[in-house]
Amino acid sequence: MLEHRKIEQIMIDALTAERKKLVKAAERYNAQLEHPAVKAIELRQEIPKELAKLKAGSKEYTNYLSEAQAKLEQYQKELRAYEKRDFIKVNDKYMVCRFEIESIDSEISMIKWRMSRRA
């Protein structure tokens, strides 16, 4: 019975490691599905508020302006890449990851259930 428990624990550990990889992949695919224009709009709304707090002509003011401009340019690049992206493929990969995560979760719960029945 001790050998079974060790093998089952090894299986749980391996499945958990695979699940972590899939969660990271699913997060990456989900991030690709998010529209970058939302971030740009939020930044454009935030810029006047931040500039009002800073003294005009100061170093902090110009630094903030250059950082904000760089962020907006980055969002524009992301937007161009977003428009070229094949959403069907990205969404399919995301859904496959979610399905595999659910399968691993059910497999882990089944192994734990079998372990509890033997104990």
Looking at residue 88, its amino acid is I
Q: pLDDT digit of tens for each residue in the chain (119 aa)?
A: 556 668 889 999 999 999 999 999 999 999 888 888 888 888 889 888 888 888 888 888 889 889 999 999 998 998 888 888 888 999 999 999 999 999 999 999 999 999 888 86
**The residue to which tokens 């100061």 are assigned:** 58
pTM score of the predicted model: 0.66
Fold designation for 2-118: Helix Hairpins (1.10.287)
Domain spans of the chain, in order of start: 2-118
Copy the structure tokens of residue 15: 């499945």
